[in-house]
Structure 1
C-alpha cells in the first residue's frame, strides 16, 4: 500500500469532484476499463470526491461525458506539481539547500557539554579544566582527540580516578569519578573504648571484649565511656584491648512538623498560549502569536526534535492559573503533621532502632499553621568506638 502511494506521489495525481445523476454508472464504466481511482468518498447522492492519476484523469473524461457527469479538479498533488512550484521559487530551493548544508556543518561541532561528577568533584572546576584542554562549546569534533584528552586530564588532576567522554550528536557527555579516601576503621588490634553516642538509659548490654564501666539501668550522656579497653588488675600489668560491645539504650527524640491549615493552590483556567523556540547553539528564535501576559501560569515544555539533533525545536505552553484557597480540617492536618514528623525521625534513626513509645502534642499558630510536637522513645545501639590515647589514659613508662 505504501509503495502504491509513493508511486502515485512521484507520478502526480489530482483530487477530483464528480457531479451527476449517474455516478454509479460512471464508476462502473471506468472500473470496467481498468482506470484506477482511489479514496472514493461520497459527499451526497449526486457528488463524489476521489483521487486519480494524471493519465487516469484524461481517460475518465470520455466516460464522464457519456454519463452526463461533470468533473472538477479540486487540487493537484505529487512531485511533478511540487517541482513546478519550486522551479518558480528558486530562492526558496536555494535557501532550503543552504539550510541543510548549514545544519550538516553545525552538526560537526560540539555545542553542549554535560558533566556528571561523582565523589565530591566540582562540576564547574571540571568544565573549566576541560575548556583549557580544548573541550568547550563550539569546538569541532575533528579538532579533539578524546583518548588523549582523557589521559591528559587524569595526569593533571590527582583527585580524579576515572573520566569518560562520550560524544553523541552535538553533545559531549562527561562523567568524572573522584578518588575516595578510605574510611578510617580501627583495626581489631588497635585499643579503643566503647562510648555513648547520645544520652540514654542502658536497657541491655553485651560485652564481648573490654571491661564494663556502666551497667544496665545506668544513665549515660553522650561521650561517656561505657566499656573501657584499659584492663587494670591488681598485681598484673595494665593491658590495652579493642573493646567490643553492643549497648542497647532507651533514648528520646523530639521532632516537629508543620502543616498549613489554609494554603493557596493554583488551578488552570482554559486560557493558554503556545510559543515555539528554534535553538541553534547559543542562538534562539522565538515564534509567538502574542505576549504571555498572564499574572500566574504553569509552563509545559516539550522538545519536538530528537535529543541529538543539531537544531532544537521546543514547544512551550503557558497555562493561565488562578489562586484558590484550600482549607484543611484540624483532624486531617493533625494526622498529616504527626505522620510527617515520624517520617523525619525515621530518616535519622538506624535500621536496627525500634520505636517503643511516643507522646503527641499539637498546637495552632496564628490560626494558620498546625505544629505537631512528637516525643519518641527509641531502643537503639548507642555504643561507638573511640580510639584510646596512650598518653592520656595509659602509662608509657
Structure 2
C-alpha cells in the first residue's frame, strides 16, 4: 500500500505500523521542511552563497568605469582629466556622486562645452558632452588685387574674367611675377578691381640621386654554429664555446632565458649589379606623389649618366598647371 502523508502525521503512522507488525519504506520526501533539514547540513555552502551575494551587492555600490562621449574638438582625455580633478575616478562610491553637480561643474569650467548629460548605469558613469559651435567666419570679399605666379614656368595660355593680362604665351616667369593686373578700363578711365582668371604654364619638376654600380648581397649557406652561456653579474660564463671559423656570418643573440645562446649563420657575400632604371622609376613616383591632382603631366624624361663607379640619375617631369595666385592688396 502506498500513502502520501504530512510530516506531522508520521508519528501516528509509526504507531499503527508497530501495532500491525508492518514495515515503512519512505519512497520520496518533499516540502520546505525537508529542504531546510537538507540545507542545515550544508552551512558552508549557504554561507559562501550569502557572502558572494553580499560582496556583489557591496561592489555594485561603486563606479568601476567612466565612459565619456564627445563629438568635435574636445577630446575624451581632456574631459577625463577634468573629471579626475573633481575627485571622480573608477572606484568612487555612488552615494558620494552628485551627477547634477558634476554637469554644472563641467559646463562652468569648460568654455567649449554647451551641454552635459551625466548618468549612472549600473557600475558605469556615462558622460555625454555637446560642444559649442563657433559661428562661421564671414569672409570679407577682396575688392582689389592682382594675380601673381606662385612658381616658375613658361606661360601657355592666359584666361581672364576680370583684370588685365600682364603676360603672354611663351614668356618665362618667375615666382612672384605679375600675371593679371587688377585694373580694367582704357587710358584715362582705369579703375582697380579684383583680378580673376587662370594662367596655365609649363612647369618643371626634377629629382636627382646617385646609385653605386654594384651592391653586396649576403646569402646564408646553411651552416650554423651555436654557443651556450649563462650570465651572472653582467659576465658571460660559457657552457659551450666553439671556435667560429666563418669568414662572413650573421650573429643572433638569444638572451631571454636562464641559458642563453649566440647563433652564428655562415653567409656568402655576392656582388650584384644595381638597377638604375628601377631607381629612376622611384624618383618619378616620388615627384608624382607630390603633384596636385589638377596638374597635367606632359612629359617624363629620365637621364642615367654612368660615372666611374656609380650612376647619376636625373628625372625631369614637364607638366602643365594653373600657376596663378591671388596677391592680397589691402582695401583702402
Instruction: Give the alignment's TM-score, normalised by structure 2.
Output: 0.50
Which of 375, 380, 388 in structure 1 is aligned with 2:321? 380
Which of 320, 327, 348 in structure 1 is aligned with 2:290? 348
- Provide Cα deviations, 1:30-50, integer angstroms capped at 9, x if missing partner: xxxxxxxxxxxxxxxxxxxxx
Q: Closer, same or farther in 2 for the Cα pair 1:346/1:149, shift >3 Å?
A: farther
Where in structure 2 are the equivalents of 1:270-309 lying within 5 Å? Answer: none
Indicate the RMSD between aligned Cα atoms, in angstroms.
5.6
Structure-2 residue corresponding to 1:330: 274
Which of 176, 179, 194 in structure 2 is aligned with 1:242? 194
Q: Closer, same or farther in 2 for the Cα pair 1:186/1:95, shift >3 Å?
A: same
Q: Indicate yes or no: 2:182 matched with 1:229.
A: yes
Tell me if the contact between 2:200 and 2:320 (Cα under 8 Å) persists in the aligned partners: yes
Q: How many angstroms does 1:245 deviate by? A: 0.5
Structure-2 residue corresponding to 1:105: 59
Tell me if the contact between 1:209 and 1:245 (Cα under 8 Å) persists in the aligned partners: yes
Q: Indicate yes or no: 2:204 matched with 1:252.
A: yes
Q: Closer, same or farther in 2 for the Cα pair 1:117/1:371, shift >3 Å?
A: farther
Counterparts of 2:50 and 2:206 in 1: how far apart (Å)?
Answer: 69
Tell me if the contact between 2:155 and 2:169 (Cα under 8 Å) persists in the aligned partners: yes
Tell me if the contact between 2:62 and 2:91 (Cα under 8 Å) persists in the aligned partners: no
Q: How many angstroms does 1:227 deviate by? A: 1.0
Tell which deviates more after alignment, 215-224 or 146-155. Answer: 146-155
Structure-1 residue corresponding to 2:302: 360
Where in structure 2 are the equivalents of 1:175-194 lying within 5 Å? Answer: 182=136, 185=139, 187=141, 190-194=143-147
Which of 178, 188, 199 in structure 1 is aligned with 2:152? 199
Counterparts of 1:176 and 1:374 in 2: how far apart (Å)?
Answer: 52
- Provide Cα deviations, 1:136-161, integer angstroms capped at 9, x if missing partner: 44445675566765565355333467
- Provide Cα deviations, 1:51-100, integer angstroms capped at 9, x if missing partner: xxxxxxxxxxxxxxxxxxxxxxxxxxxxxxxxxxxx69x59x94996499
Counterparts of 2:266 and 2:140 in 1: how far apart (Å)?
Answer: 59
Q: How many angstroms does 1:208 deviate by? A: 0.7
Tell me if the contact between 1:162 and 1:177 (Cα under 8 Å) persists in the aligned partners: yes
Counterparts of 1:363 and 1:167 in 2: how far apart (Å)?
Answer: 73
Structure-2 residue corresponding to 1:283: none
Q: How many angstroms does 1:195 deviate by? A: 1.9
Consecutive unaligned residues of structure 2, counting only runs of 5 or more, are 1-41, 219-252, 257-263
For the residue of structure 2 that corresponds to 1:109, the secondary structure is coil
Where in structure 2 are the equivalents of 1:1-397 lying within 5 Å? Answer: 94=48, 98=52, 101=55, 105=59, 108-111=62-65, 118-119=72-73, 125-133=78-86, 135-140=88-93, 149=102, 152-159=105-112, 182=136, 185=139, 187=141, 190-231=143-184, 233-236=186-189, 238-255=190-207, 330-331=274-275, 335=278, 337=279, 340-360=282-302, 374-390=315-331
Instruction: Give the alignment's TM-score, normalised by structure 1.
Output: 0.44
Structure-1 residue corresponding to 2:19: none
Count of residues in Structure 1 that have an aligned counterpart in Structure 2: 243
Counterparts of 2:128 and 2:210 in 1: how far apart (Å)?
Answer: 41
Tell me if the contact between 1:111 and 1:139 (Cα under 8 Å) persists in the aligned partners: no
Q: Closer, same or farther in 2 for the Cα pair 1:324/1:355, shift >3 Å?
A: farther
Q: Closer, same or farther in 2 for the Cα pair 1:330/1:182, shift >3 Å?
A: farther
Tell me if the contact between 1:110 and 1:172 (Cα under 8 Å) persists in the aligned partners: no
For the residue of structure 2 that corresponds to 1:129, the secondary structure is helix
Counterparts of 2:145 and 2:110 in 1: how far apart (Å)?
Answer: 37
Tell me if the contact between 2:61 and 2:93 (Cα under 8 Å) persists in the aligned partners: no
For the residue of structure 1 that corresponds to 2:59, the secondary structure is helix
Counterparts of 1:256 and 1:358 in 2: how far apart (Å)?
Answer: 14
